[in-house]
Amino acid sequence: MSQAIYRSPQKIDISTNPGFSEDLKNLIAEGNSNIVIDMGDTIYISSVGLRTLLAVHKECVGKGGKMVIRNAGDMVKSVMEVTGFSQLFNFE
């Protein structure tokens, strides 16, 4: 199983999510079942971004891999905690 590291954009919202989603889908299509999403630059994530993360997480797990979120800032962590996503995802 290969691993890919993806650096997420500064904002993940309705305008940037299509590219974010497409990039991650392409990584999976290339055979990467272990994906590390480096969120060090991300200062905002909306519900559409959370849905994308959930879909990628499910796809990775379904292929025997995992998705890891790395370097999440306070705002991103707060959104994950409020929505309950912090219990679903692996953080580094």
What tens digit of pLDDT does each residue of 19-63 get? 999 999 999 999 999 999 999 999 999 999 999 999 999 999 999
Q: In this predicted structure, what is the pLDDT of residue 31?
A: 93
Q: In this predicted structure, what is the pLDDT of residue 2?
A: 76
pLDDT at residue 1 is higher than 80? no
Q: What does the alpha-carbon distance between residue 48 and residue 79 come to, in Å, rounded to a whole number?
A: 12
The beta-strand segments (E) located in the chain are 2-7, 11-12, 32-38, 44-45, 66-70, 90-91
- Asked whether 42 and 76 are in contact (CB, 8 A), the reply is yes
Tokens for 50, please give them.
């959370």
- CATH number of the domain where residue 6 is located: 3.30.750.24
Number of domains, the chain: 1
Mean local confidence (pLDDT), 10-23: 97
Give the domain extent around 12: 2-91
